Amino acid sequence: MHAVDDGLLRRREAIGELGDALRLLVENATATEAPTEELLRAAERIRQAAAPLGERVRTRFDSATADDLIAGVRLYNPVTGAGSALAPPVEIHREGTVAIGTCTLGLAFEGPPSYAHGGVSAMLLDQMLGYAVTHSGNPGMTGRLETTYRRPVPLHTPLRLTGEVVGVENRRVTATGTIACADEPGRVLVEATGLFIALRAEQAQRLFGPVLSRRYQEPRAG
Amino acid sequence: MHAVDDGLLRRREAIGELGDALRLLVENATATEAPTEELLRAAERIRQAAAPLGERVRTRFDSATADDLIAGVRLYNPVTGAGSALAPPVEIHREGTVAIGTCTLGLAFEGPPSYAHGGVSAMLLDQMLGYAVTHSGNPGMTGRLETTYRRPVPLHTPLRLTGEVVGVENRRVTATGTIACADEPGRVLVEATGLFIALRAEQAQRLFGPVLSRRYQEPRAG
C-alpha cells in the first residue's frame, strides 16, 4: 500500500477539477446552438488544451499514477471516475448491503430524443452490479448482463440506481440492479441481472499481470 | 424533409471537427501523466472553451438543428456520433443484411486494467443491434439486451462489431451481435441478443411528441 502524500492528494484534486471542466465542455458542446464559426474557434481552443496533456501519456499497460488498483481508486472509470469526461459521474454509496447510485444524465447521453441511450443504461447498471459484487467481498468480471427496459430514462432528471448481490455460488456471483427517477424510486425504468465470475489466480495473472507487475512489483529504490 | 443547404453542410463539418478535437482532448486527459500544475492549466483552458458554447444551448426537448430526426442524422449519438465526445466513434456500414462496425477504444473506455469496461461493450452492442433493427425496416426501442462476455476486450486494438436481425414477429424484432478483434474476427469476445419493440403510434406520440412537434410541425414562414 502506498502512503497518500500531499502531492498525490493535490494531483487527485486536480484530476477531479479537470474532470469537472471536461464534463462541462462535453455537455456544452453537445447542447450548443452557437454559430458555426464559434464551433470552429472552440475546436482550435480544445486542440491547444489537448496538446500539452498529450506530451507525456501512459500506455494501456500503465495504470495512472494517481490511481491505486489495490485500494480500488480508479479516477478515470467511465461511469464513476471524477476524472472521466465520459462519466455522468455516478456517485455510489452503500445502504446496508445495497449499493445506491445517483446521477443526472445530460444531452451527451441521448439516444431516443430526450431520453438516455439504451446502451448507457446497460453501462450504468453493469457498474452498479460490479460495485455491489466487489463490495460483497467476491470481486469478479462480468460474465453475463441481462438488461430489461420497462420505460425510457429521461435526461436532465435526477436518477437513483441500485445494485445488490442476490446469490453467491463458488466463483459465480449474481447481482441485480435498477434505474428509477429519484423522485419516484419505486417505479423501475430499467433493471438488470448480472452474473459475475471470480478469476482464478492464473487467469488474473494472465489478464492483469502486465499492468500489476509494472506498477507494484518492480524493485524500488529506498 | 429539409433541403441540405451549404450552411447546414458546413455546420455538420464543424461539429465533426469539434468532435475530433473533443475526443483527442478526452483521450489525452485520461492518459496524461503531465505535472499537476499542467492539469490545472488545462482545466482553465477548457472552461474558457466551454463558456461561449454554453451561451446558447438547447433543452432536452429541442433536437439539434444540425440533426435530422426523420432522415436519421444524429450527430451527437454517444456511440456513433461524429460530434460526440463520448463516442469512440463506431463507424457502421452494411454488408448484405449484416451491420459491420469498426472502432478502436482508448483509455477513456477502460474498466479492468488494459481492457474495456464491460458496460462499454454492452453499449456498443446495443447500438449495433439497434442499427440493424432500424435498417431492417422495423425500427423499435430496446426491450431487452442480453450481453455475454467470453473474453476481455483489449484497448488500443482495432475492433470489428456485427449486428443482424434474426427474427421479426409482429412488433417484436430480435437481433444478435458480436465484438471481436479486427484481425481475428471469428474469435468472439462479447456477444449480445436484443429484443426490440416497435412503438404503437400513441406510444411514439407520448414519448417523442414534444420533440417532434417543436421541430417539424410548427408553422413556418415562406
Closest to A189 measured CA to CA, from A181, A197, A199: A181
Is A175 a member of any domain? yes
pLDDT of residue A213: 87
Is B221 a member of any domain? no
Q: Which of B23, B54, B85 is the last residue of a domain?
A: B85
The percent of residues above 70 in pLDDT, for chain B, comes to: 95
pLDDT of residue A119: 98
Q: Could you report the per-residue pLDDT of A144-186, keeping only the tens digit for each?
A: 999 999 999 999 999 999 999 999 999 999 999 999 999 999 9
Alpha-carbon span A39 to A36, nearest angstrom: 5
Q: Which of A66, A85, A104 is the last residue of a domain?
A: A85
B34 and B72 belong to one structural domain: yes
Contact yes or no for B58 and A7 at CB 8 A = no
Q: Could you report the per-residue pLDDT of B7-43, keeping only the tens digit for each?
A: 999 999 999 999 999 999 999 999 999 999 999 999 9
CB B90 within 8 A of CB B124: yes
B102 and B197 belong to one structural domain: yes
Beta bridge partners of B32: A57
pLDDT of residue A221: 47
The string over B160-193, giving b where at least 16 C-beta atoms fall within 10 Å of a residue's C-beta and e elsewhere, is bbbbbbeebeeeebbbbbbbbeeeeeeeebbbbb
Whether ipTM > 0.90 holds is yes
Chains A, B: CB contacts within 8 A come to 324
Domain extent at residue A71: 1-85
Count CA atoms within 13 Å of residue A25 on its CB side. 36
Contact yes or no for B108 and A84 at CB 8 A = yes
Q: Could you report the per-residue pLDDT of B64-84, keeping only the tens digit for each?
A: 999 998 888 999 999 999 999
A114 and A154 belong to one structural domain: yes
Residue A86's identity, in one-letter code, is L
Contact yes or no for B127 and A119 at CB 8 A = yes
Q: Does residue B222 surpass a pLDDT of 60?
A: no
A64 touches chain B (CB under 8 A): yes
Q: Does residue B57 surpass a pLDDT of 70?
A: yes
Average pLDDT over residues B102-116: 97
Average pLDDT over residues A37-61: 97
Of all residues in chain B, what percent are helix, strand and coil, respectively (each to 5)?
Answer: 35, 25, 40
Residue of A nearest to B43 (CA): A18
A80 and A126 belong to one structural domain: no
Q: Which of A85, A101, A131 is the last residue of a domain?
A: A85
Strand intervals (E) in chain B: 91-95, 98-103, 141-149, 159-169, 172-181, 190-197
CB B80 within 8 A of CB B92: yes
Contact yes or no for A147 and B144 at CB 8 A = yes
B8 and B60 belong to one structural domain: yes
Strand B190-197, strand B172-181: pairing? antiparallel
Contact yes or no for A147 and B149 at CB 8 A = no
CB B211 within 8 A of CB B63: yes
The SS3 assignment for A200 reads: coil
Q: Does residue A129 surpass a pLDDT of 70?
A: yes
A100 and A57 belong to one structural domain: no
What CATH number has the domain bearing residue B169? 3.10.129.10
**Of B199 and B161, more confident:** B161
B21 touches chain A (CB under 8 A): yes
Q: Does residue A195 surpass a pLDDT of 90?
A: yes
Match 464491460 to its residue by C-alpha cell: B118
CB A146 within 8 A of CB A193: yes
Cβ-Cβ contacts under 8 Å for B7 (sequence gap 6 or more): A36
A38 and A134 belong to one structural domain: no
Residues of chain A contacting B69 with CB distance shorter than 8 Å: 113
Please give the span between the terminal C-alpha atoms of chain A, in angstroms, as a whole number: 15
Alpha-carbon span B71 to B74, nearest angstrom: 9
A20 and A111 belong to one structural domain: no
Instruction: Write down the mean pLDDT value for chain B.
Output: 94
B67 touches chain A (CB under 8 A): no
Alpha-carbon span A19 to B39, nearest angstrom: 10
Q: Does residue B52 surpass a pLDDT of 90?
A: yes
Is A127 a member of any domain? yes
Strand A159-169, strand A141-149: pairing? unpaired
Grid coordinates given for B108: 477513456
A119 and A192 belong to one structural domain: yes
CA distance B106 to chain A (A): 8
Is A222 a member of any domain? no
Out of B24, B33, B76, the one facing A30 most closely (by C-beta) is B76
Q: Could you report the per-residue pLDDT of A64-84, keeping only the tens digit for each?
A: 999 998 888 999 999 999 999
Alpha-carbon span B173 to B170, nearest angstrom: 8
Out of B39, B64, B76, the one facing A18 most closely (by C-beta) is B39
Residue of A nearest to B47 (CA): A21
Rounded to the nearest 10 degrees, the angle between the axes of helix B6-31 and helix A6-31 is 170
Containing B17, the helix (H) or strand (E) segment is helix B6-31
B50 and B134 belong to one structural domain: no
Alpha-carbon span B172 to B88, nearest angstrom: 29
Reported pTM = 0.95
Of the residues A74, A77, A145, the best mutation for testing chain B's interface (the one with the most B CB atoms within 10 Å of its CB) is A145
Alpha-carbon span A59 to A57, nearest angstrom: 7
Of the residues B23, B36, B74, the best mutation for testing chain A's interface (the one with the most A CB atoms within 10 Å of its CB) is B36
A9 touches chain B (CB under 8 A): no
Strand B190-197, strand B141-149: pairing? antiparallel
Average pLDDT over residues B193-217: 89
Out of B31, B69, B86, the one facing A108 most closely (by C-beta) is B86
pLDDT of residue B218: 58
Is A51 a member of any domain? yes
B125 touches chain A (CB under 8 A): yes
Closest to B122 measured CA to CA, from A61, A63, A19, A143: A143
Q: Does residue A222 surpass a pLDDT of 50?
A: no
Where would I find the H helices in chain A?
A: 6-31, 36-53, 118-135, 201-216
- The structural domain count of chain B equals 2
Out of B21, B113, B126, the one facing A46 most closely (by C-beta) is B21
